[in-house]
Structure formats: C-alpha cells, structure tokens
Amino acid sequence: MPAAATIRVGVNGYGVIGKRVATAVTRQDDMALVGVSEVVTDWRARMAVRNGFRLFGATSDAASAMRGAGLWVSGTLDDLLGQIDLVVDCTPKQIAARNVGLYRRQGLKFILQGGESHEATGHSFVAEANYASALGREATRVVSCNTTSVVRTLTALKRAGLLRRARGTLLRRATDPWESHATGIMNTLVPEPEIPSHQGPDAQTVDPELDVVTMAVKVPETLAHLHYWAVQMTRKAGEDEVREAFRRSSRIALIRIGDGLVALNAVKELMADRGRPHNNLYEVALWGDMLRVRDDEVFYAYMVDNQAIVIPETIDAIRALTGIVKDANESIARTNAALGLEAALI
Ligand SMILES: NC(=O)c1ccc[n+]([C@@H]2O[C@H](COP(=O)([O-])OP(=O)(O)OC[C@H]3O[C@@H](n4cnc5c(N)ncnc54)[C@H](O)[C@@H]3O)[C@@H](O)[C@H]2O)c1
C-alpha cells in the first residue's frame, strides 16, 4: 500500500471502545493512528502513552492536567484534528453528538458510535448490510453492539432468501467489567420498560426492510449479551440449510455446546486462549448445535461481546467513508485478516 493511500485516523475518547478501535487501526496496512484524545489523567491515559500512542488533551485544561500528572502530551484535540483525515469519536453517549460541529468546521470525516442517534449522522452502518451506501459520505454511525448482531444475523438469513420476520429477546449485560465497582445491578433482573426495545427499530435504521421486534432485560453479569430468537422463514427449510446461511457470513461464528462452549464465560476464555487483544470476540457466536427448525420457524441463540463486536465494523466504516476500498467484501476480508477473524473459533 503506497504511503499516499494511508488514511490518517484519530480516536477521540480512549475508553472501552476507543482503546480497541485504536489497537485495531494500528493493525491495518492502509491506515495509521495519529493519536488519541482524552480527558482523564489516570492509568487509562497512561496506558495510551505506554502503548506508543500520541496522547492529546480533549481541551486545553485536560492537556494541562495531563502534563501536570507527568504525561507526555502532544497537544489538544484541535491539534490532533489538524493532522488527520478522519476521526472516530468514542466518547460517552451524547458527548459525541456535541462534537459534530467541531468536526464539520475542520472538514473532517467522522464516525460516531451506537450511543448516538441515527439523526446525528443520517447514516447507520453495518458492513455486511450497507457498506456501499456509506461510500464517500462525510459521516456514519456504527450501530450499537446488540443492533450490530441483529443486523448481521438477519442479513445472513435475508441473503439466503429465508427471512420473513424475526422476534428476539435480549439478555443484556449490566455494565462493562472495568466499571463494575461503580455501576451495575445485583440479584435482580430489570426489564426494559418499552416493547419493542430500541434495538429492533435501531436495526431498521440500517435496513428498513427488516420486520423485527426486540424485547430486552438487563441481567446481573458483565461478560456479554445473550440473544434468543424465533424467526419465521419464507418457507420450510432444514437446519443444515439455516446453519449454512449463517456460515456464509464471515462475522458469524458457529460454536457448539458439544465442544464444551456451554456458556458466555467459556467462550470468553477461548478468546483469551486464542490470544486476542482484550479477549475480543468480534464475531456473533451462534450455537449451531442448539439451533432448531419447526416447519417454517427457526429458533437459535447467540452471544454478543458488546465490547468487541463493533470494532471490525468501525474499521470497515473508515474505509467506506474515505472510499479507499470500494467493495464491501474486500474491506471485510482485509479487516478480518488483520484482526484474526476466522470461520471457526475452534
Ligand atoms: N461499552 C460497550 O459495550 C459499547 C458497545 C458498543 C457501542 N458503545 C458505544 O461506544 C461509545 C463509547 O462507549 P464506551 O463504552 O467506550 O465508553 P467509555 O466510558 O468506556 O469510554 C469513553 C471515554 O471517553 C472519555 N471522555 C469523556 N469525555 C470526553 C471528552 N469530552 N473528550 C474526549 N474523551 C472523553 C472518557 O474518559 C472515557 O475514557 C458510546 O457511544 C457507546 O454507546 C459501547
């Protein structure tokens, strides 16, 4: 890849998603991470420097505080924005939307994450579903972890001509592991007050044709989400045919209870054994041997690593917005190879 074709990327917000995006960018041969921007001065910012990333203060006050804490600071967010082609905003929900004006004034392309609304960019992204419609755009939103999984799996069924309508129940992790001293729930289950929960309508921002209803409940664990789905197909189909439809997506991995992968913790341990950064499970891990068909209905369950699933999508969104790769399959294949996604997890 000639140097002229290298996309210069900045990451604003080096938290759960930002640090994973930053690492993933460094693994691509057509992009370079120019730096990361933060407001904190503690171990999180220190790790960015230790990882060899240039650190910028999101404000001049933040930059001063970082210097005061002994951190090597390369400037402010404004300085970072002046050196890049595209910014991935990974700041907390609703902060990112406030940065949109700043990015526009700098003439930058930008990516927001799933905590923001569809309206904040006017485009919502899942690589296998709508890469082409993001080509050359100013901005997109990589949809949330749950929504990404919904669109990936339903797109696989749709492409096989099997999807009529889908109804899913989502068991949502209570908080992220590193924050579990501060927030989360214990010894209870908390239903989302609205049916449908927001993930179904959110999936329709990517593909308005999806007939999908979701219900959700927060559960007292931090590992990952677990989804149960009942899908009415367009016709009767065998279990092997449905499994084959899922297998055709490179971002759905069929796992087996029969291999001992009987729970979320076992799958996370497998990712640790695979040596993936942060034990990331980028794929939707769908239990192939649990899947059942009755007439024209299929029933299945899968695991969503909320901290990791949106990382490959974000890398593809960078290529789509900049137009450096025009073909979705080419970008997906490059991202998969760089991050180590494989058809089989074991
Ligand atoms: N955590 C998940 O599982 C998950 C999954 C998918 C999508 N998302 C979405 O990704 C986005 C980021 O979520 P997260 O979980 O990584 O949050 P996070 O709180 O882990 O990280 C956000 C980081 O941004 C920093 N920050 C705060 N204000 C800032 C500012 N003004 N400028 C620069 N940095 C600032 C914080 O210090 C923190 O390190 C949200 O839209 C969220 O909805 C999160």
Q: In this predicted model, what pLDDT tens digit does every residue of 102-138 receive, in sequence order?
A: 999 999 999 999 999 999 999 999 999 999 999 999 9
**Could you tell me if the CB of 81 is within 6 A of ligand 1?**
no
Point out the catalytic residue in the list 145, 174, 231, 233: 145
DSSP-based three-state secondary structure for 211: coil
**Binding site membership of 44 for ligand 1 (Cβ less than 6 Å):** yes
Q: Using 50, 70 and 90 to split pLDDT, how confident is the model at 343?
A: confident
Does 289 score more than 80 pLDDT? yes
- pLDDT score of 342: 87
- Tally helices (H) and strands (E) across the chain: 12, 15
Could you report how far apart the first and last alpha carbons of the chain are, in Å?
32
Largest CA distance in the chain: 66
| Token pair recorded at residue 96 | 């990112």
How far from chain centre, in Å, is Cα 14?
15
The C-alpha angle with vertex 189 and arms to 193 and 268, in degrees rounded to 5, equals 115
CB 156 within 8 A of CB 173: no
Which atom of ligand 1 is closest in space to residue 173's alpha carbon? 3
Phi/psi at 296 (5° precision): -100, 20
Strand partners, 213: 167
90 part of the active site: no
- Once rounded to an integer, what is the mean pLDDT over residues 10-27? 98
In this predicted structure, what is the pLDDT of residue 1? 40
**Which residues have CB under 8 Å from 125's CB, separation 6+?**
111, 131, 134, 140, 141, 142, 143, 206, 313, 316, 317, 320
For residue 3, name the pLDDT band (cuts at 50, 70, 90): very low
| Ligand 1 pocket mutation pick from 79, 98, 113 by most atoms within 8 angstroms of CB | 113
* Summary mean pLDDT of the chain: 97
Q: Rounded to an integer, what distance in angstroms lies between the CA atom of residue 44 and that of residue 20?
A: 13
Please check the confidence at residue 179 and state whether its pLDDT lies above 50. yes
Q: How far apart are CA 204 and CA 249, in angstroms?
A: 19
Cβ 15 under 6 angstroms from ligand 1: yes
94 alpha carbon to ligand 1 midpoint, in Å? 10
For ligand 1, whether the C-beta of 57 sits within 6 Å is no
Q: Is ligand 1 within 6 A of the CB of residue 7?
A: no
Rounded Cα–Cα distance for residues 56 and 314 (Å): 21
What is the Cα–Cα distance from 244 to 237, expressed in whole angstroms?
11
Q: Is the CB of 113 under 6 A from ligand 1?
A: yes
Distance 338 CA to ligand 1 centre (A): 24
Locate the ligand 1 atom nearest the alpha carbon of residue 37 and give its number: 33
Q: How far is the CA of 153 from the centre of ligand 1 (A)?
A: 25
Tell me the per-residue pLDDT of 302-342, one tens digit each, with 9 for 90 and over: 999 999 999 999 999 999 999 999 999 999 999 999 999 98
CA distance 303 to 280: 12
Contact residues for 11 (Cβ-Cβ < 8 A; gap 6+): 18, 21, 22, 25, 33, 35, 36, 37, 87, 88, 90
Atom of ligand 1 nearest to the CA of 40: 37
For the Cβ of 102 lying below 6 angstroms from any atom of ligand 1, the answer is no
**Residue 39 beta carbon below 6 angstroms from any ligand 1 atom:** yes
* Cα 18 to ligand 1 centre (Å): 7
Q: State yes or no: pLDDT of 4 exceeds 60.
A: no
**Closest of 57, 6, 53, 58 to residue 34, by C-alpha:** 53
| Per-residue model confidence as pLDDT tens digits over 198-245 | 999 999 999 999 999 999 999 999 999 999 999 999 999 999 999 999
pLDDT at 192: 97
Q: How far is the CA of 259 from the centre of ligand 1 (A)?
A: 35
